[in-house]
A and B are shown apart, each in its own frame.
Chain A
Amino acid sequence: MAEAPFGLLAELTHRCPLRCGYCSNPLELVRRRDELDTGQWFSVFDQARALGVLQVHLSGGEPLGRKDLPELVGHAAGLGCYVNLVTSGLGLTEERLADLVSRGVDHVQLSVQDADRAGADRIAGVRAHDHKLVAADLVTAIGVPLTVNVVLHRRNLDNVAGLIALAERMGAQRLELANTQYYGWALRNRAALLPTAEQLAAANPVVAAAQDRLRGTMEIVYVIADYHEAHPKPCMHGWGARQLTVAPDGKVLPCPAATVIADLEVDNVRDKALADIWHDSRSFNAYRGTDWMRDPCRGCARREVDFGGCRCQAFQLTEDAANTDPVCSLSPDRGTVDLILAAETRPVVEPALVMRQADR
Chain B
Amino acid sequence: MTPESVPRIRPGARVSYDQVRESAVVLFPEGVLVLNETAAAVVDLCDGRATIGDITRRLADDFSGVEPRDVVELVERLVARGVVVLDG
Q: Interface residues, chain A, CB within 8 Å of chain B?
A: 4, 6-7, 49-52, 54-55, 80, 82, 84, 106-107, 109, 143-145, 147, 173-174, 216, 219
Contact = CB atoms under 8 A, between A and B. Distances in A.
Interface of B: 11-12, 14, 16, 18, 20-21, 25, 27-32, 79, 82
Contacts of A143: 11
A45 to B, nearest CB: 14
A64 to B, nearest CB: 19
A156 B19 CA distance: 45
A54 B27 contact: yes
Contact of B30 (A4, A144, A147, A216): A147
Contact of B12 (A49, A55, A109, A145): A145
Interface of A is mostly: mixed
B11 A55 contact: no
A80 B21 contact: no
26 contacts: A4-B21, A51-B20, A52-B20, A54-B18, A54-B32, A55-B30, A55-B31, A55-B32, A80-B16, A80-B18, A82-B28, A84-B29, A106-B12, A106-B29, A107-B12, A107-B28, A107-B29, A107-B30, A143-B11, A144-B12, A145-B11, A145-B12, A147-B29, A173-B12, A174-B29, A174-B82
A51 B19 CA distance: 10
Contacts of B20: 4, 49-52
A145 B27 contact: no
A51 B18 CA distance: 11
Contacts of B12: 106-107, 144-145, 173
Contact of B82 (A51, A54, A219): A219
A63 to B, nearest CB: 16
B25 A145 contact: no
A316 B20 CA distance: 37
B78 to A, nearest CB: 13
A80 B79 CA distance: 24
Contacts of A109: 29
B73 to A, nearest CB: 18
A106 B30 CA distance: 11
Nearest to A145: B12
A106 B11 contact: no
Given A4-B20, A82-B27, A219-B82, A106 B14 contact: yes
Contacts of A50: 20
Centre residue among A84, A107, A143, A147 by max chain B CB count within 10 A: A107
Interface-central residue, A4, A7, A145, A147, by most chain B CB under 10 Å:
A145
B15 to A, nearest CB: 11
A18 B28 CA distance: 28
Looking at A7, A82, A109, A147, the one whose CB has the most chain B CB atoms below 10 A away is: A82
A109 B28 CA distance: 13
A216 B79 CA distance: 8
Contacts of B14: 82, 106
B8 to A, nearest CB: 14
Contacts of A216: 79
Report the 10 A-B pairs with minimum CB-CB distance, sorted nearest first. Answer: A145-B12, A82-B27, A107-B29, A52-B20, A6-B32, A54-B32, A145-B29, A219-B82, A147-B29, A174-B29
